[in-house]
Amino acid sequence: MNAQVAMMRSAREHLPVATGDFCKAMRNLAGHCVVIASGSDGQRAGLTATAVCSVTADPPRLLVCVNRNVYAHGVITRARHLSVNVLGCRQESIARRFAGMVEGVAGEQRFDEGGWMPGISQVPVLTDALASFECRVVEAIPASTHDMFLCEVIRVTGQMEEQDPLIYFNGQFAALA
């Protein structure tokens, strides 16, 4: 048996990585901070996330991963539109609000900080974000506890590079040095 076949067989025989070990290792992967926001039937919802990435430039598409257990997931599913708002280094307090880290602040109260305006699809868009991508959900792909929303970008706005981005690393918010 050649070494490659033996390695593949060995990998199949191992148990999955423990959740705690996976989370500990992922803390070493620095991520950009965004607020994903949506609105439907007069209800707005949002969450802080790092699970967003570019899929294609032509056509412009993003992949946005959202846990099915958060309130915003249902709003996104109903609205079929969302915004991805890239936060700058001076917007940590907004990141904390939408991450549920500010005691007594939940739901609609999260939008009390920052300049939020309805976009062309009526979802909330942060006017002073580094960049805001307004998107139409093209497809929802189930992935364990989350859905991966494949999104067509229908509008881009924002401050575009007027400040450094806010990043998340090792359980803490930080700015690029």
What ranges do the domains of the chain cover? 31-175
pLDDT of residue 2: 64
Phi and psi at residue 72, in whole multiples of 5°?
-60, -30
Burial class for 119, CB neighbours closer than 10 Å (0-12, 13-18, 19+): buried
Segments of the chain scoring below 70 in pLDDT: 1-13, 161-162, 177
Strands (E), the chain: 31-32, 34-40, 43-49, 52-57, 60-67, 81-86, 116-118, 124-126, 131-143, 146-157, 166-169, 172-175
Report the alpha-carbon distance of residue 142 to residue 149 in Å, rounded. 9
What DSSP designation does 165 have?
Answer: B
Q: Say which CATH architecture domain 31-175 belongs to.
A: Roll (2.30)
Contact, 128 vs 116, CB < 8 A?
Answer: no
**How is the chain split among helix, strand and coil, in percent rounded to 5?**
25, 45, 30
pLDDT value, residue 97: 97
The predicted model scores a pTM of 0.88
Contact 46, 88 (CB under 8 A): no
Q: How far apart are CA 97 and CA 101, in angstroms?
A: 6
- Given this model, what pLDDT does residue 26 score? 81
